Structure 1
Amino acid sequence: MHRWLAAEQRDLRAAEQRDLRAAEQRDLRAAEQRDLRAAERRRPSGAPVAPRIPFVLADATDAPRIVALNPAAEACGLAIGETLADARARIGALEVRLAEPEADRKALLRLARWATRYTPSVALFREHSGSDGFFLDVTGATHLLGGEEAMLRDLARRLDAFDLPVRLAIAETPGTAWAVSHYARTPVTVVPAGAEGQALGPLPVEALRLLPETARTLRRLGFKRIRALQGQHRAPFAARFEKELLRRLDQAMGRTPEPLVLLTPPPVYVATRSLVEPITTEDAILAVADRLMQDLAPRLEADGAGARRLRLSLYRVDGGVERLDVAFSLPTQSPADVTRLMRLELERTARCLEAGFGFETLSLAVTVGERIETRQHTLATAPEESARARRSTALLDALRQRLGAASVRHLTPVASHWPSRNEMLTAAPSTAAAWSAARPARLRPPLILPRPEPAEVIALLPDGPPQRLRWRGKLFRLAHAEAPERIAPEWWRRKASEPTRDYVLVEDVAGRRFWLYREGIPGRETAAPRWFVHGVFA
């Protein structure tokens, strides 16, 4: 059983914010969301519109029509959908400005993201529902504020502080919540479970979110209220109106599910804390984040899972939302690990983080989680391997969080035995399994030269071990040499100028070790093989 909250704000506007001067933007920072009020906001010059002056917004078409109006214009008899020419003819002193739907949509999206402080499941009105509000799935969240009515009062109070007159409704289905929020007489309504039909009955048929043509046809047939449709035989309506009318009626009554497109998928693990006093300092934010992770840790441990990515949402007093994301190479349940990376993220984004008058609510959500797999170790190697793994992953996580994931790179093994092609530089992996690459069968130098450098080698026999090495103008007397390792180029990439290489690891009398190779097989590929230095050991 779900409970849906519909919030309707009919006159949204954001485009006028672009006309504000820098000083005005600083003065209005405490009321950032107030740019969502459309028909009561400002004149084109930026001066406030007096409440007693009729003010409308019109669409940019050849025959402009009113798309929003303030109470003064509504009191004069104007209505949404009326042509602007008729409105001007009736009212001489009419303030008009062009509507900007894209700016309104962005403003509504900001408001919907702010509403995630109540529940992570938020969806904008879509299809024929209009673009003036959003749905909240408040199932299991109302008790945090003392019940459904207390949540509605809190939401209404905060939106009123943003100068946003809204209509709110809670019901079992999104369709009923939308209908009641738009057409009920009271601005705040709670529809009890199972009372959808009673709540919908006195509402006009437009409350079913029908196409305008469908609503006009129903009215011509005498069906003006939803109660006139309830209890009627469905076959005539299905033949006349196809599936739209019955589908909308069934959705409102809960007979047919209505899938909604949420802004973000709801996380499985989320913890939220509302503060008595707003906070602004870094230490206070980290302290709350640590407590939130302590709330999540037992739930993660009970499910045998860990957090790979987390998002800390900070809700400002003025309605803005700031977000901090951290990522781990291995799933974690540790509050200390989360706090450590959150501190690095705060230091990295300190200049971009806008606290305003402070953050009043913080929410920590696990956006990516993984099951923590148990591993069997021997008693001798378990402590050493665990400590080494913790140090490696902690370093990798810190580098990625501080510098950005794209700035941390490492050498990744490639399926090729040719030394020049068996590694490539890529972005740091997001998993610890990919971070530890398998070692090759033979020892390789930690420093491989970008280009092999020519060298002179003296050996007692053509195939004997090297005795002297001259490289970069210096002579090295060699003391030891390993058996050669023959490496041929891949046949599918082989060129006529790529001969076989015989690699050998040598060490001089001073302990310096070099990785050499002889190019070409004597007597078969070349008459005078050449030597090159390809790498050195520390």
Structure 2
Amino acid sequence: MQAQTPTPKLQDRRILAIWCARLSVDRWQQSLGSETGEIGGEGAPTVLISETAHGPRVEAANDAGIEAGARVGMMLADMRTLCPHIQTAPADPAGDLAFLEELALWAQRWGPWSALDPPDGVLVDITAAAHLFGGERRLLGDVEAAFAQRKLRVRSAIAPTAGAAWALAHFGTHLGPQRAMLGPRDDAIRVLGDLPVAALRLDADVLTVLRRLGLKRLSDVADIAGNISGPTEAAARDALQRRFRNRRSPSANPLIRLDQLLGRVPEPLLPVIARHAPMVQRRLMEPIRHRSLLDQVLADLTVDMARELEGKGDGARRLELGMWRVDGQVIVRRLELAAATRDPQHMTRLFTEKLDHIEAGFGIEIIRLRASWTEPLGMGQRDVEQAAERHGTSLAACIDRLSVRLGSQAVRRPVSRASHLPERAQDWRPPLEPHPVSQNILEMRERPLKLLDKPERIAVLYASPDGYPQRFRWRGNVHEVARVEGPERIAPEWWRVRSTVRLRDYYRIEDAEGRRYWIYRHGLSGDGRGGLPDWFLQGLSA
């Protein structure tokens, strides 16, 4: 008796997909507190717009706006021709994304971890957790009830893969109102085959190509990708693979998306992790207007922040000081540190220089200090570090004070890079940022003390054949060459640029007045890579 090969099955993993179909509109209406029939509510046609180079564009619309003909992506001028009395409000994509992150953390009540599905979706891993809610059907009911309580319209679905759950949540209504789940042993192609190809989460240009090829349903793509029983089917699959061979992004390759939907290849998801930024604040009994009182409150806040950071074993890299005035205006001062710290005196000293021009108005009633960026910082010998600061030898403290006075972009350190081209041989990094040591292949070669940010073209008035210029003009002045050293030939980086890039011959020259320059000839006569060579000046020597 011949044993039968077991049919491969999907893993018993369960993914909950939540689609906030009207996220932008729902959030906007909540921010206004509008009710149906009010200005801006569902009773008035309203669209959310964003500014583009060609004018305002519609990003979302309420139900009345959709009935009036509004569509995402159309220009506001076109929309006004359909509905002259249409109302507008600014879209807030950054706020929508931040709100979606909060929803992803809140959705972890149904599973151990969740992930973002931008711009308007959340994925939750509910593997082995549905029985806590009485089964998957009741879990979906709890999801809809919880979001309805928050006045958010959602559609949800459960499937073994994120792709299948996403397809059911977005297009499951095509299969009937009861089809919101795909079991671990269900045939995904049989259940989802009638869905449009848009259920594969593909880019708009890829969907256009598939429709032109006659592939309108998910089953059409699955037949070509999985059916190779005959030469015709095999040729069709090869043609589809060749067409999308260079599409590395999953959203641009229907074959990758189909394999992810069926569980043939894994789909990495980035979990959303709740990270609470340490924050301390003072609600003042009486508003303060004087600088001495503000400095005292700041000193108290930094001590509290140091205690919070020490309890977590962290140090602050970025601090935000917010001051709420009586008239409602909020003043924010930010500070970015060169190294993690929780020294209250150091934080107070740095913030003091940022509070010189604060306008307190009628007074400041709330002051809040928040560490928006922290790093692990172990316990150290604080007395040694404090002694170093008193003697002015603390490098991190010195860099922080320079950054506050000069700006964070003004304090940098040069680091070497593994490149033989002079303009790529070094880079500028933050002062204390760790940088892997790379062997600079030009470290043994002498280079000018000053390199120009960009090589400047020089006009050669006379040059010997295939040699150095004997007279050249640079920045309006003519220079007579007295001494020459070279050439040093530098070839292009063939792994970065095209093969038609020309060689360089560098010369160290000294003019009649004793000034030294570093110039190079770009290309050789008759090298077949262009016309006559060009000359450039790239460095100055002492």
One fold, TM greater than 0.5?
no
TM-score (norm 2): 0.44
Structure with larger Rg? 1
Greater RCO, CA 8 A, separation 6+ = 1
TM-score by length of 1: 0.45
